[in-house]
Amino acid sequence: MSHKNKKDINLVEEQDLRPNGREEDTDLEEEGQLSVDVYQDRESVIIKSTIAGVEPEDIDISFDNDMITIRGKRHQDKRVHEDDYFYQECYWGSFSRSIILPVEVDSEKIEATIRNGVLTITLPKIKSHKESNIKVKDEN
């Protein structure tokens, strides 16, 4: 039995697998959760994810308020017949991940790149810390 939570699909207790290593077919297409690393430096929040085999045109990144959503699809090689697999552990199909950011970022300057199968999204922080001197008025 497979235990899958929408927020953390990586929690797997045990699986009922067919001889070729795949889970039993279901009527509904499942959406996989994209694994990510999220960290910061002085200037930006950085999100990294391994997305080997996904073309840039198959990735959609949207930003709304304090949440970034990454959606995409990894296409399976249709030349291999399902019965020819010994193991089929790679995830094929749609995936997504939404991340609530802990700091304010400048949505106009967000950049996304793919290099060697790694998606990197750089979200520049908004510099909200402004120091100012307040002059005290004498009202006497």
Q: CB 51: neighbour CB atoms within 10 A?
A: 20
Please indicate, yes or no, if residue 112 is contained in any of the structural domains: yes
Domain containing 103 equals 32-124
Considering the entire predicted model, what is its pTM? 0.67
pLDDT tens for residues 8-33?
333 333 333 334 444 444 445 678 88
Please indicate, yes or no, if residue 87 is contained in any of the structural domains: yes
And the tokens for 63?
């930003």
pLDDT tens for residues 82-103?
888 899 888 888 999 999 999 9
CATH number, domain containing residue 102 = 2.60.40.790
Please indicate, yes or no, if residue 130 is contained in any of the structural domains: no
And the tokens for 53?
């085999």
Contacting residues for 68 by C-beta, under 8 A, at least 6 apart: 47, 61, 62, 98, 99, 101, 110, 121, 123
pLDDT tens for residues 30-83?
788 899 999 999 999 999 999 988 999 999 999 998 999 999 998 887 888 888
Domain count within the chain = 1
